[in-house]
Homo-oligomer: A and B are copies of this chain.
Amino acid sequence: MNKSTKDYDDLLSEFLEFKEEKLELDLTRGKPSPEQLDLSNCLDGILDGNFQLRNGADARNYGGILGIPEARELGAEILGSRPKNTMVGGNSSLNLMYHFVASKVKTWGEGSKFICLTPGYDRHFTICEYFGISMLSIPLTNSGPDMEKIEKEVRADQSIKGIWCVPKYSNPTGHTYSDEVVKRIAALPKIAADDFFVFWDNAYVVHDLQSNEDKLYNFSRATENQGTSDSGLVFASTSKITFAGAGISFLSTGEKTLSDFEKYLSMQMIGFDKVNQLRHVKLLKNLEETKKLMAKHQKVLKPKFDLVLATLENKLGNSKVAQWTLPKGGYFISLDTLPGLAKRTVQLALELGVRLTPAGATFPYGKDPNDSNIRIAPSYPQLEELRKAVNVLGTCILLAKAESDNREG
Protein backbone atom coordinates (compact mmCIF):
# COMPACT_ATOMS: atom_id res chain seq x y z
CA MET A 1 0.00 0.00 0.00
CA ASN A 2 1.65 3.26 -1.08
CA LYS A 3 1.26 6.54 0.72
CA SER A 4 -1.32 7.92 -1.66
CA THR A 5 -3.64 4.97 -1.15
CA LYS A 6 -3.31 5.24 2.58
CA ASP A 7 -4.13 8.94 2.38
CA TYR A 8 -7.09 8.13 0.21
CA ASP A 9 -8.49 5.60 2.67
CA ASP A 10 -8.07 7.97 5.62
CA LEU A 11 -9.67 10.81 3.71
CA LEU A 12 -12.56 8.62 2.61
CA SER A 13 -13.20 7.71 6.25
CA GLU A 14 -13.17 11.38 7.18
CA PHE A 15 -15.52 12.09 4.30
CA LEU A 16 -17.95 9.37 5.42
CA GLU A 17 -17.86 10.61 8.99
CA PHE A 18 -18.85 14.07 7.82
CA LYS A 19 -21.58 12.50 5.75
CA GLU A 20 -23.20 11.02 8.83
CA GLU A 21 -23.51 14.49 10.31
CA LYS A 22 -26.06 15.37 7.60
CA LEU A 23 -24.79 18.94 7.41
CA GLU A 24 -26.65 21.81 5.78
CA LEU A 25 -24.19 24.66 5.37
CA ASP A 26 -24.02 27.40 2.76
CA LEU A 27 -20.89 29.31 1.74
CA THR A 28 -22.17 30.30 -1.71
CA ARG A 29 -22.98 33.97 -1.43
CA GLY A 30 -21.64 37.05 0.27
CA LYS A 31 -24.68 37.51 2.47
CA PRO A 32 -24.46 39.57 5.65
CA SER A 33 -25.38 37.67 8.82
CA PRO A 34 -28.46 38.54 10.91
CA GLU A 35 -26.12 40.12 13.49
CA GLN A 36 -24.89 42.53 10.82
CA LEU A 37 -28.37 43.31 9.55
CA ASP A 38 -29.47 44.07 13.13
CA LEU A 39 -27.03 47.00 13.12
CA SER A 40 -29.43 48.91 10.83
CA ASN A 41 -32.78 47.90 12.26
CA CYS A 42 -33.54 51.49 13.16
CA LEU A 43 -33.87 52.25 9.43
CA ASP A 44 -37.53 51.30 9.65
CA GLY A 45 -39.13 54.16 11.54
CA ILE A 46 -36.13 56.48 11.36
CA LEU A 47 -38.11 59.17 9.55
CA ASP A 48 -40.49 59.63 12.47
CA GLY A 49 -43.25 60.93 10.22
CA ASN A 50 -41.09 63.49 8.45
CA PHE A 51 -40.87 62.83 4.71
CA GLN A 52 -39.88 66.32 3.63
CA LEU A 53 -36.61 66.84 1.82
CA ARG A 54 -34.29 69.73 2.55
CA ASN A 55 -35.54 71.45 -0.61
CA GLY A 56 -39.14 71.16 0.55
CA ALA A 57 -40.06 68.31 -1.83
CA ASP A 58 -42.01 65.29 -0.61
CA ALA A 59 -40.07 62.01 -0.59
CA ARG A 60 -43.33 60.05 -0.72
CA ASN A 61 -44.52 61.35 -4.08
CA TYR A 62 -43.49 60.63 -7.68
CA GLY A 63 -40.52 62.06 -9.48
CA GLY A 64 -36.79 62.58 -9.65
CA ILE A 65 -34.88 59.84 -11.49
CA LEU A 66 -31.47 60.95 -10.18
CA GLY A 67 -32.49 60.66 -6.53
CA ILE A 68 -32.90 63.08 -3.65
CA PRO A 69 -30.19 65.75 -3.31
CA GLU A 70 -29.13 64.70 0.20
CA ALA A 71 -28.61 61.09 -0.91
CA ARG A 72 -26.65 62.23 -3.97
CA GLU A 73 -24.36 64.09 -1.56
CA LEU A 74 -23.94 61.03 0.61
CA GLY A 75 -23.17 58.84 -2.41
CA ALA A 76 -20.73 61.37 -3.81
CA GLU A 77 -18.83 61.50 -0.53
CA ILE A 78 -18.65 57.71 -0.26
CA LEU A 79 -17.52 57.36 -3.88
CA GLY A 80 -15.14 60.33 -3.81
CA SER A 81 -17.12 62.15 -6.48
CA ARG A 82 -19.40 65.21 -6.70
CA PRO A 83 -23.15 65.35 -6.03
CA LYS A 84 -23.88 66.72 -9.53
CA ASN A 85 -22.09 63.68 -10.97
CA THR A 86 -23.86 61.18 -8.73
CA MET A 87 -27.26 59.52 -8.96
CA VAL A 88 -28.99 57.32 -6.42
CA GLY A 89 -30.89 54.21 -7.47
CA GLY A 90 -32.89 51.44 -5.90
CA ASN A 91 -31.75 48.45 -3.88
CA SER A 92 -29.23 47.13 -6.40
CA SER A 93 -26.14 48.63 -8.01
CA LEU A 94 -25.99 45.49 -10.18
CA ASN A 95 -29.31 46.62 -11.60
CA LEU A 96 -27.83 50.05 -12.45
CA MET A 97 -24.92 48.30 -14.22
CA TYR A 98 -27.33 46.10 -16.15
CA HIS A 99 -29.33 49.14 -17.22
CA PHE A 100 -26.26 51.04 -18.25
CA VAL A 101 -25.20 48.16 -20.50
CA ALA A 102 -28.79 47.89 -21.81
CA SER A 103 -28.75 51.60 -22.63
CA LYS A 104 -25.61 51.25 -24.77
CA VAL A 105 -25.88 47.81 -26.30
CA LYS A 106 -27.72 48.99 -29.42
CA THR A 107 -25.15 51.62 -30.28
CA TRP A 108 -22.27 49.27 -29.50
CA GLY A 109 -23.70 46.93 -32.12
CA GLU A 110 -23.02 43.30 -32.92
CA GLY A 111 -19.73 41.73 -31.95
CA SER A 112 -18.93 44.01 -29.06
CA LYS A 113 -16.61 42.76 -26.31
CA PHE A 114 -15.80 43.40 -22.66
CA ILE A 115 -12.58 42.76 -20.79
CA CYS A 116 -13.22 40.55 -17.77
CA LEU A 117 -10.57 40.29 -15.08
CA THR A 118 -10.38 36.79 -13.67
CA PRO A 119 -11.22 35.47 -11.26
CA GLY A 120 -14.07 37.97 -11.00
CA TYR A 121 -17.72 38.55 -10.10
CA ASP A 122 -20.04 36.09 -11.80
CA ARG A 123 -22.98 38.49 -12.02
CA HIS A 124 -20.93 40.92 -14.13
CA PHE A 125 -20.22 38.12 -16.56
CA THR A 126 -23.89 37.10 -16.63
CA ILE A 127 -24.83 40.59 -17.84
CA CYS A 128 -22.38 40.26 -20.76
CA GLU A 129 -23.65 36.80 -21.56
CA TYR A 130 -27.25 37.96 -21.55
CA PHE A 131 -26.56 40.75 -24.04
CA GLY A 132 -24.36 38.59 -26.26
CA ILE A 133 -21.24 40.62 -25.43
CA SER A 134 -18.10 38.49 -25.87
CA MET A 135 -15.82 38.27 -22.85
CA LEU A 136 -12.07 38.53 -23.03
CA SER A 137 -10.47 37.09 -19.87
CA ILE A 138 -7.39 38.79 -18.49
CA PRO A 139 -5.88 37.48 -15.24
CA LEU A 140 -5.81 39.63 -12.12
CA THR A 141 -2.42 39.79 -10.41
CA ASN A 142 -1.67 40.88 -6.85
CA SER A 143 -1.45 44.54 -7.80
CA GLY A 144 -4.46 44.43 -10.08
CA PRO A 145 -4.94 43.68 -13.74
CA ASP A 146 -2.14 43.25 -16.26
CA MET A 147 -2.30 46.78 -17.67
CA GLU A 148 0.04 46.28 -20.57
CA LYS A 149 -2.05 43.49 -21.94
CA ILE A 150 -5.25 45.49 -21.43
CA GLU A 151 -3.86 48.60 -23.10
CA LYS A 152 -2.66 46.55 -26.04
CA GLU A 153 -6.07 44.91 -26.44
CA VAL A 154 -8.23 48.05 -26.25
CA ARG A 155 -5.90 49.94 -28.58
CA ALA A 156 -5.98 47.17 -31.17
CA ASP A 157 -9.64 46.26 -31.00
CA GLN A 158 -12.32 48.96 -31.27
CA SER A 159 -15.04 46.40 -30.63
CA ILE A 160 -13.97 46.31 -26.97
CA LYS A 161 -16.57 48.52 -25.28
CA GLY A 162 -16.01 47.98 -21.61
CA ILE A 163 -14.09 46.52 -18.71
CA TRP A 164 -15.43 45.23 -15.39
CA CYS A 165 -13.38 46.22 -12.34
CA VAL A 166 -13.90 45.55 -8.62
CA PRO A 167 -10.97 47.72 -7.62
CA LYS A 168 -11.00 47.40 -3.84
CA TYR A 169 -11.04 44.00 -2.11
CA SER A 170 -11.80 42.47 -5.48
CA ASN A 171 -14.46 39.78 -5.63
CA PRO A 172 -13.21 37.09 -5.01
CA THR A 173 -9.48 37.65 -4.47
CA GLY A 174 -9.62 40.55 -2.03
CA HIS A 175 -6.91 42.42 -3.94
CA THR A 176 -6.86 46.20 -4.24
CA TYR A 177 -5.57 47.92 -7.36
CA SER A 178 -2.41 50.00 -6.97
CA ASP A 179 -2.45 53.78 -7.56
CA GLU A 180 -0.52 53.22 -10.78
CA VAL A 181 -3.11 50.77 -12.05
CA VAL A 182 -6.03 53.07 -11.15
CA LYS A 183 -4.45 55.93 -13.09
CA ARG A 184 -3.77 53.75 -16.12
CA ILE A 185 -7.35 52.47 -16.11
CA ALA A 186 -8.60 56.07 -15.96
CA ALA A 187 -6.56 56.74 -19.10
CA LEU A 188 -7.86 53.71 -21.02
CA PRO A 189 -10.78 55.57 -22.65
CA LYS A 190 -8.26 57.78 -24.44
CA ILE A 191 -6.83 54.84 -26.38
CA ALA A 192 -9.99 52.71 -26.57
CA ALA A 193 -13.09 52.94 -28.75
CA ASP A 194 -15.05 56.21 -28.42
CA ASP A 195 -17.91 54.40 -26.73
CA PHE A 196 -15.75 52.46 -24.27
CA PHE A 197 -16.69 52.54 -20.56
CA VAL A 198 -14.91 51.50 -17.38
CA PHE A 199 -17.38 49.77 -15.02
CA TRP A 200 -15.79 50.57 -11.67
CA ASP A 201 -17.77 48.49 -9.20
CA ASN A 202 -16.54 49.87 -5.90
CA ALA A 203 -18.69 47.37 -3.99
CA TYR A 204 -16.35 47.21 -0.99
CA VAL A 205 -15.43 50.88 -0.77
CA VAL A 206 -15.81 51.06 3.04
CA HIS A 207 -15.70 47.34 3.78
CA ASP A 208 -12.42 47.03 5.64
CA LEU A 209 -11.54 44.12 7.91
CA GLN A 210 -8.48 45.74 9.49
CA SER A 211 -7.45 49.15 10.70
CA ASN A 212 -4.49 49.19 8.31
CA GLU A 213 -6.95 49.00 5.44
CA ASP A 214 -6.07 49.12 1.76
CA LYS A 215 -6.21 52.62 0.25
CA LEU A 216 -7.69 52.90 -3.20
CA TYR A 217 -6.74 55.87 -5.38
CA ASN A 218 -9.76 58.07 -6.20
CA PHE A 219 -10.93 56.92 -9.62
CA SER A 220 -13.33 59.83 -10.17
CA ARG A 221 -10.46 62.24 -9.64
CA ALA A 222 -8.24 60.14 -11.88
CA THR A 223 -10.78 60.31 -14.72
CA GLU A 224 -11.19 64.05 -14.18
CA ASN A 225 -7.44 64.45 -14.52
CA GLN A 226 -7.48 62.43 -17.71
CA GLY A 227 -10.58 64.15 -19.11
CA THR A 228 -12.35 60.78 -19.20
CA SER A 229 -15.09 61.35 -16.60
CA ASP A 230 -17.85 60.53 -19.07
CA SER A 231 -16.30 57.11 -19.71
CA GLY A 232 -15.94 56.13 -16.07
CA LEU A 233 -18.87 54.58 -14.20
CA VAL A 234 -18.34 54.32 -10.45
CA PHE A 235 -20.86 52.13 -8.63
CA ALA A 236 -21.53 51.26 -5.00
CA SER A 237 -24.46 50.31 -2.83
CA THR A 238 -25.43 50.03 0.80
CA SER A 239 -26.33 46.34 0.43
CA LYS A 240 -23.49 45.36 2.75
CA ILE A 241 -23.72 48.52 4.85
CA THR A 242 -27.40 48.47 5.87
CA PHE A 243 -29.88 45.86 4.54
CA ALA A 244 -28.67 43.50 1.80
CA GLY A 245 -31.99 43.48 -0.04
CA ALA A 246 -33.37 46.86 0.94
CA GLY A 247 -30.57 49.38 0.56
CA ILE A 248 -29.85 52.09 -2.00
CA SER A 249 -27.32 52.26 -4.84
CA PHE A 250 -25.05 54.94 -6.30
CA LEU A 251 -23.55 55.76 -9.68
CA SER A 252 -21.05 58.56 -10.35
CA THR A 253 -19.96 59.51 -13.85
CA GLY A 254 -19.50 62.53 -16.13
CA GLU A 255 -22.38 64.96 -16.46
CA LYS A 256 -23.16 64.11 -20.08
CA THR A 257 -23.21 60.37 -19.43
CA LEU A 258 -25.37 60.89 -16.36
CA SER A 259 -27.83 63.02 -18.29
CA ASP A 260 -28.03 60.45 -21.12
CA PHE A 261 -28.61 57.68 -18.60
CA GLU A 262 -31.34 59.71 -16.89
CA LYS A 263 -33.13 60.04 -20.23
CA TYR A 264 -32.82 56.32 -20.82
CA LEU A 265 -34.20 55.44 -17.37
CA SER A 266 -37.11 57.86 -17.78
CA MET A 267 -38.51 55.52 -20.48
CA GLN A 268 -39.16 52.82 -17.91
CA MET A 269 -39.77 54.41 -14.55
CA ILE A 270 -40.88 57.56 -12.79
CA GLY A 271 -38.19 57.34 -10.14
CA PHE A 272 -36.57 55.13 -7.51
CA ASP A 273 -37.83 54.82 -3.93
CA LYS A 274 -37.01 58.22 -2.43
CA VAL A 275 -38.39 57.38 1.01
CA ASN A 276 -35.77 54.68 1.38
CA GLN A 277 -33.12 57.11 0.15
CA LEU A 278 -34.16 59.54 2.87
CA ARG A 279 -34.04 56.77 5.49
CA HIS A 280 -30.45 56.02 4.45
CA VAL A 281 -29.45 59.67 4.67
CA LYS A 282 -30.84 59.85 8.19
CA LEU A 283 -28.97 56.70 9.23
CA LEU A 284 -25.63 57.03 7.42
CA LYS A 285 -25.42 60.86 7.43
CA ASN A 286 -21.96 61.08 5.82
CA LEU A 287 -18.78 59.09 5.15
CA GLU A 288 -17.48 59.43 8.70
CA GLU A 289 -20.68 58.08 10.27
CA THR A 290 -20.83 55.34 7.64
CA LYS A 291 -17.35 54.25 8.63
CA LYS A 292 -18.43 54.04 12.25
CA LEU A 293 -21.18 51.63 11.23
CA MET A 294 -18.68 49.66 9.14
CA ALA A 295 -16.44 49.29 12.20
CA LYS A 296 -19.31 47.43 13.85
CA HIS A 297 -19.58 45.14 10.81
CA GLN A 298 -15.84 44.57 11.06
CA LYS A 299 -16.23 43.30 14.63
CA VAL A 300 -18.64 40.64 13.41
CA LEU A 301 -16.83 39.73 10.21
CA LYS A 302 -13.16 39.71 11.26
CA PRO A 303 -13.40 36.64 13.53
CA LYS A 304 -15.08 34.73 10.69
CA PHE A 305 -12.34 35.52 8.20
CA ASP A 306 -9.71 34.71 10.82
CA LEU A 307 -11.38 31.38 11.55
CA VAL A 308 -11.50 30.41 7.86
CA LEU A 309 -7.86 31.34 7.37
CA ALA A 310 -6.74 29.49 10.51
CA THR A 311 -8.76 26.41 9.56
CA LEU A 312 -7.37 26.38 6.05
CA GLU A 313 -3.84 26.77 7.39
CA ASN A 314 -4.36 24.01 9.90
CA LYS A 315 -5.93 21.65 7.40
CA LEU A 316 -4.02 22.41 4.21
CA GLY A 317 -0.98 24.40 5.31
CA ASN A 318 1.47 21.58 4.71
CA SER A 319 -0.28 19.91 1.81
CA LYS A 320 0.66 22.15 -1.12
CA VAL A 321 -2.66 21.28 -2.77
CA ALA A 322 -4.05 24.79 -2.40
CA GLN A 323 -3.23 28.41 -1.78
CA TRP A 324 -5.54 31.20 -0.76
CA THR A 325 -5.72 34.95 -0.37
CA LEU A 326 -5.49 36.95 2.88
CA PRO A 327 -7.88 39.82 2.20
CA LYS A 328 -7.88 42.98 4.30
CA GLY A 329 -11.53 43.60 3.45
CA GLY A 330 -14.47 42.68 1.26
CA TYR A 331 -16.56 39.54 1.50
CA PHE A 332 -14.52 36.69 0.07
CA ILE A 333 -11.49 34.49 0.32
CA SER A 334 -10.30 33.12 -3.00
CA LEU A 335 -8.74 29.67 -2.91
CA ASP A 336 -6.86 28.01 -5.74
CA THR A 337 -6.43 24.25 -5.69
CA LEU A 338 -3.89 22.49 -7.84
CA PRO A 339 -5.28 22.46 -11.41
CA GLY A 340 -8.19 20.16 -12.08
CA LEU A 341 -9.52 19.79 -8.54
CA ALA A 342 -12.06 22.60 -8.06
CA LYS A 343 -15.13 21.07 -9.70
CA ARG A 344 -14.64 17.73 -7.97
CA THR A 345 -14.08 19.46 -4.63
CA VAL A 346 -17.31 21.46 -4.88
CA GLN A 347 -19.17 18.30 -5.87
CA LEU A 348 -17.78 16.34 -2.92
CA ALA A 349 -18.63 19.15 -0.52
CA LEU A 350 -22.19 19.21 -1.85
CA GLU A 351 -22.45 15.48 -1.10
CA LEU A 352 -21.66 16.42 2.50
CA GLY A 353 -24.29 19.17 2.57
CA VAL A 354 -21.86 22.07 2.23
CA ARG A 355 -22.84 24.35 -0.63
CA LEU A 356 -20.07 26.35 -2.30
CA THR A 357 -20.23 28.79 -5.22
CA PRO A 358 -20.08 26.55 -8.33
CA ALA A 359 -16.50 26.00 -9.48
CA GLY A 360 -15.86 28.13 -12.54
CA ALA A 361 -18.43 30.76 -11.56
CA THR A 362 -15.67 33.32 -11.10
CA PHE A 363 -14.77 33.04 -14.81
CA PRO A 364 -16.62 34.10 -17.98
CA TYR A 365 -19.08 31.47 -19.20
CA GLY A 366 -18.51 29.62 -15.90
CA LYS A 367 -15.32 28.05 -17.24
CA ASP A 368 -12.18 28.18 -15.16
CA PRO A 369 -9.40 27.11 -17.57
CA ASN A 370 -7.42 25.57 -14.68
CA ASP A 371 -10.43 24.26 -12.80
CA SER A 372 -8.80 25.49 -9.62
CA ASN A 373 -10.59 28.55 -8.22
CA ILE A 374 -13.03 28.26 -5.31
CA ARG A 375 -14.70 31.30 -3.75
CA ILE A 376 -15.31 31.16 0.00
CA ALA A 377 -17.96 33.45 1.51
CA PRO A 378 -17.46 33.48 5.30
CA SER A 379 -19.98 36.19 6.25
CA TYR A 380 -23.28 34.40 6.77
CA PRO A 381 -22.67 31.24 8.86
CA GLN A 382 -22.10 31.29 12.60
CA LEU A 383 -18.54 30.56 13.74
CA GLU A 384 -19.05 26.89 14.58
CA GLU A 385 -20.83 26.22 11.29
CA LEU A 386 -18.06 28.00 9.49
CA ARG A 387 -15.35 25.93 11.18
CA LYS A 388 -17.20 22.78 10.19
CA ALA A 389 -17.76 23.94 6.61
CA VAL A 390 -14.12 24.84 6.05
CA ASN A 391 -12.98 21.56 7.56
CA VAL A 392 -15.29 19.81 5.11
CA LEU A 393 -13.85 21.90 2.29
CA GLY A 394 -10.32 20.97 3.32
CA THR A 395 -11.13 17.27 3.41
CA CYS A 396 -12.83 17.46 0.03
CA ILE A 397 -9.84 19.19 -1.57
CA LEU A 398 -7.49 16.55 -0.16
CA LEU A 399 -9.82 13.75 -1.21
CA ALA A 400 -10.12 15.16 -4.72
CA LYS A 401 -6.32 15.27 -4.87
CA ALA A 402 -6.02 11.67 -3.62
CA GLU A 403 -8.58 10.51 -6.19
CA SER A 404 -6.63 12.24 -8.89
CA ASP A 405 -3.33 10.71 -7.67
CA ASN A 406 -4.96 7.27 -7.66
CA ARG A 407 -6.13 7.70 -11.26
CA GLU A 408 -2.67 8.82 -12.34
CA GLY A 409 -0.78 6.38 -10.07
Q: Residues of A at under 8 Å CB distance from B?
A: 29, 31-32, 34, 37, 40-41, 44-49, 51, 58-64, 90-92, 94-95, 98-99, 102, 126-127, 130, 239, 243-246, 267-276, 279
CA distance A101 to B332 in the complex (A): 36
CB < 8 Å: which of B31, B98, B243, B273 contacts A268?
B98
The A interface, classified by DSSP as helix, strand, loop or mixed, is loop
Output the least CB separation between A216 and chain B (Å): 24
Residue of A37, A244, A268 with most partner-chain B CB within 10 A: A268
Contact of B49 with A279 in the complex, beta carbons under 8 Å = no
What residues on B are CB-neighbors of A267 within 8 Å? 98, 126-127, 130
**In contact, A269 and B95 (Cβ under 8 angstroms):** yes
- Is the Cβ of A62 less than 8 Å from the Cβ of B239? yes
> CA A122 – CA B62 in complex, angstroms?
16
Query: Is the beta-carbon distance between A245 and B270 smaller than 8 angstroms?
Result: yes
Contacts of A271 in B (CB 8 A): 91, 245
Nearest 7 Cβ contacts at the A-B interface: A45-B45, A98-B268, A246-B275, A60-B243, A37-B60, A130-B267, A246-B273
Do B269 and A98 touch (CB < 8 A)?
yes
CB distance from A229 to the nearest CB of B (A): 25
| Bound CA span A37–B62, Å | 11
Are B51's CB and A95's CB within 8 A?
no
CA of A126 to CA of B31 in the docked complex: distance in angstroms? 37
CB distance from A342 to the nearest CB of B (A): 24
Smallest Cβ distance from A244 to chain B, in angstroms?
Answer: 5
Residues of chain B contacted by A34 (CB below 8 angstroms): 58, 61
Extra contacts besides A60-B246, A245-B272, A273-B276 (17): CB < 8 Å: A31-B62, A44-B45, A44-B46, A59-B245, A61-B245, A62-B239, A91-B271, A95-B269, A98-B267, A98-B269, A99-B268, A126-B267, A130-B267, A243-B275, A245-B271, A246-B275, A273-B273
What are 20 A-B interface contacts by the 8 Å CB criterion? A29-B62, A31-B62, A37-B58, A44-B46, A44-B49, A44-B51, A44-B275, A45-B45, A59-B245, A60-B245, A91-B272, A94-B269, A98-B268, A98-B269, A102-B102, A126-B267, A127-B267, A245-B271, A245-B275, A276-B276
